Amino acid sequence: MKIEKLKVVSVTYDLRTDGFEGQIIESATEENPLKFIFGIDMMLPAFEAQLEGLEQGDTFQFKLAADDAYGQPNAENILDIPIDAFNDENGKRQEELLKVGNVIPMQDNEGNQFYGEITEIGENSVKMDFNHPMAGKDLYFIGKVIEVRDATPEELDHGHVH
């Protein structure tokens, strides 16, 4: 069975950002493969385009340019947050959160949650980068198609693999 729209796809892969021989930064194994419904916008479109038409047992190796993956870093996604935003409900500063390099969840006024990395801590504000961690990076995938099957009606209704 070929990978096409509305098929459940299971793949293993190694992901690198510094070439096909670089350090592995993420993996999906046969014991814990990446499973998704193909063609319903769960994955990067360029990622799916590389897998389309492959079958169980096929291997793959491809590069996604940064612009086809998570785009380039956007300066508008680097914000100064008032340091008081890191106080708990009693007004006490949550010092354990305030470390450069920490990635923490934040919420906007509409209740949407975003993850941001603390890049600088000032006296009155904290600089946070809300760009995707892979923004600006080319992605190199090497992997194998483990399974391709029809999605069940329940999976299609829920929009994810069961």
Q: What angle do CA 75, 114, 89 make, to 5 degrees?
A: 115
Predicted local distance difference test score (pLDDT) of residue 139: 98
Question: Rounded CA gap, 22 and 9, in Å?
Answer: 26
Mean pLDDT of 114-127: 95
Question: Left, alpha or beta for 134 (phi > 0: left; psi -120 to 50: alpha)?
Answer: alpha
All structural domains of the chain: 7-70+134-158 (3.10.50.40), 75-129 (2.40.10.330)
At 87-111, the pLDDT tens digits run 988 989 888 889 999 999 988 888 8
- Model pTM? 0.83
State the pLDDT at residue 15.
Answer: 98
The more confident residue out of 24 and 94 is 24
Task: Report the pLDDT value the prediction gives residue 107, as an integer from 0 to 100.
Answer: 85
Instruction: Point out which residues pair with 26 in neighbouring strands.
Output: 15
Percent share of the chain, pLDDT over 70: 100
Structure tokens at 157: 């209704």
Phi/psi region, residue 19 (left: phi>0; alpha: psi -120 to 50; beta: rest), is left
Task: Please give the radius of gyration of the chain, using alpha carbons only, rounded to the nearest integer.
Answer: 20
